[in-house]
A and B are shown apart, each in its own frame.
Chain A
Amino acid sequence: MEDIFMDWLYVLMPISGVTIFWPGLVILGVGVGIIGGFFGMGGAWMVTPGLNILGFPMAFAIGTDIAHMAGKSLISTMRHGKFGNVDYKLGLIMLVGTVVGFEVGAQMIMWLERLGNVEMVVRLLYLVLLGLIAWMVFSDVSKKMRKDREARARGQEIDKLSTGIEWHKTLHKIKIPPMITLEVAGITCTAWLPIGISFFTGWLAGILGIGGGLIRMPALLYLLGCPTHVAVGTDLFEVMISGLYGAFTYTMKGRTELMAAVIMLIGAAVGAQIGTVATKYIKGYGIRIAFGLAVVGCALSIILKLLAKEIPTYKALLNNSSTVLVLGLVSAMSLYITVKMIQGARAEVAAKKK
């Protein structure tokens, strides 16, 4: 009797042949949808441990994640596009550099693997990079706060467009033709700047074997000087195209479970809307701080995974801690973003009624 009652909560995956608790997939979809729509990234580092917990075979986890990521990013891009947060011209230019850079990075890592085991080096490199990104974000936030404090002390009005780190201003002085104007981002610079940045971030993503949203987003902010919302929207546009391509190649290799991706998309459709609409109510620097915290969480989970490899006695404990940390972070951030979105929406609806 109990079995019959519970059976409807499980669905058989036609390709992998495993039975999965489908409400878990929906909840996972909602969580990563919210975070992806809010930060402008695919969020594979959050999805894979979640799919693992639900009993998904690793062979299918990555392909399924990418398939759902493409659909989710499309939903978020549609919404960000309507808010005017997507610079399509920038997205297309950056796609060139990303694809070439990724290929160079992927080939390079394959060459290095033939020379010896580079897994540990790659993981350490990833950690250093995450540390650098977190440092950039928080030092930017602290500089911006100092500027605001100084302006207040002088009795001046706070400049809403001021930023903490201003490396982009130096980079914008490079005038190598062709020069381009990115209307949505409000930037005029040499075309080589976005191409170079995307090549570099793509190369890093290729070496590290990651999607790259986590690297591209701060690069758009600090090196190109994109406003936060445009960086989020444009990055999602790139994730959408690369995700579709990735879904195709992984499916060709027989590694995608579309049924699971579709179930996750049901949750992600709602989550992506919440995350994207929340960017309406949370200021750019609020997004940056939350992004910095997500980077710290990702770095901690990698440290735990590394420790699990080094200390076999506590392997299970450390691996489980890493999963709990990632899923806890996803839950906490999703909750924060949802609460902010609801508060903002309530205020907006109340203002309209007045």
Chain B
Amino acid sequence: MEEMMKVIGIKIRVFVLMLCMLLPEAVLAAGEKADLVVIVADTRGLTGILKAWGTLYNESHLYFSLLTIVLIPVIGLVFGTVADIVMRTIGIDLEHRELSEH
């Protein structure tokens, strides 16, 4: 029985992964659907990293998107860790929660 549950569990996880990759319209977010529009970033007034970012956007939406979804969790992780350090310094226990009531 336990073995069967494990197999079902693995199947569910693979299914989830497949769904996430194969259902392009399943955007779980608020607001109206975005139309496919061509927007070009004006990079003339930009310099440095902003210019590079704008240029990447103009050259390839795919690379730009891939980099975006890599950067978001990385930045989230960095900021989260920094906030963790600050909270720990204050003296708050960030590992345990006493109550488990409804």
Contact = CB atoms under 8 A, between A and B. Distances in A.
Interface string B69-97: 10111011101101110010011111111
Interface size class of A (residues with CB under 8 A): 35 or more
A92 interface: yes
B75 to A, nearest CB: 6
| Residue among B13, B30, B37, B43 having the largest count of chain A Cβ atoms under 10 Å | B30
Given A15-B39, A17-B41, A253 B28 contact: no
Interface size class of B (residues with CB under 8 A): 35 or more
A89 B16 CA distance: 12
A71 interface: yes
B32 interface: yes
Contacts of B93: 348
Given A17-B42, A273-B87, A251 B29 contact: no
A178 B43 CA distance: 56
A302 interface: no
Given A72-B76, A245-B28, A246-B29, A83 B99 contact: no
B53 A258 contact: yes
A305 to B, nearest CB: 13
A63 B30 CA distance: 9
A241 interface: yes
Interface string B10-22: 0011011001100
B65 A252 contact: yes
| Residue among B23, B39, B72 having the largest count of chain A Cβ atoms under 10 Å | B72
A178 B80 contact: no
Nearest to B95: A82
A96 B72 contact: no
Contacts of A318: none
A252 B62 CA distance: 6
A63 B45 CA distance: 24
A14 B50 contact: yes
A234 interface: no
Contact of A345 (B4, B42, B75, B92): B92
A96 B102 contact: no
B53 to A, nearest CB: 5
Contacts of B99: 160, 283-284
B93 to A, nearest CB: 7
Contact of A250 (B15, B23, B27, B54): B27
Please give me the 5 A-B residue pairs with the lowest Cβ-Cβ distance, nearest first: A44-B30, A269-B79, A242-B28, A71-B76, A75-B80
Interface of A: 12, 14-17, 42, 44-45, 48, 59, 61-63, 65-72, 74-75, 78-79, 82-85, 89, 92-93, 95-96, 98-100, 102-103, 106-107, 160-163, 178, 180, 191, 202, 205, 209-212, 227-229, 239, 241-256, 258-259, 261-262, 265-266, 268-270, 272-273, 277, 279-280, 283-285, 345, 348-349, 352
Interface of B: 4-5, 8-9, 12-13, 15-16, 19-20, 23-39, 41-43, 45-46, 50-51, 53-54, 57, 61-62, 64-66, 68-69, 71-73, 75-77, 79-80, 82-84, 87, 90-102
20 contacts: A14-B53, A59-B39, A66-B29, A69-B29, A70-B73, A71-B79, A74-B73, A83-B96, A85-B97, A92-B12, A95-B19, A99-B28, A100-B19, A162-B102, A227-B102, A254-B37, A254-B39, A283-B101, A284-B99, A352-B91
